[in-house]
Amino acid sequence: MQTTTHQHDNCLRCGRTLTSVKSRATGYGPKCATKIRRTPTDLTDYKPHQVASARELIEDGAIVLLRSVVFVSVSTDGTETYKTAPNVCTCPAGLKGSRCYHQLAARMLLAA
């Protein structure tokens, strides 16, 4: 599966047409990418490596808004997809009730 190499024509956040190669790969225009990166999210429940993974997930375009507050996340090896919302996730950790970095990424995106 090659979900992470998918090209986006429009910004996932504001819908503007994306022109640069990087924006098309990540799915966010430069302004929206900066805003997402700078948005203060409550990170107290998360470990630094989870924060790093969540940022990576967003920058790789591996978490995409499906509808309202539900996202589709791609697993690190690209073989599976999970449904993610700010407080639930269908990944193995999420199903056990853990706060996975997918949920954190969803929060970052919704807060931006």
Which residue's CB is nearer to Zn ion, number 5 or number 87? 87
- Residues 14-28, buried b or exposed e (16+ Cβ, 10 A)? eeeebeeeebbbbbb
Q: How far is the CB of 96 from Zn ion (least distance, A)?
A: 10
The CB-of-28 to Zn ion minimum distance in angstroms stands at 6
Q: Report the distance separating Cα 77 and Cα 62, nearest Å.
A: 11
Distance in Å, CB of 64 to Zn ion, minimum: 14
Residues at the contact surface with Zn ion, assessed by CB under 5 A? 11, 13-14, 16, 29, 32, 89, 91, 94, 100, 102
What span, in angstroms and rounded, lies between the C-alpha atoms of 39 and 37?
Answer: 6
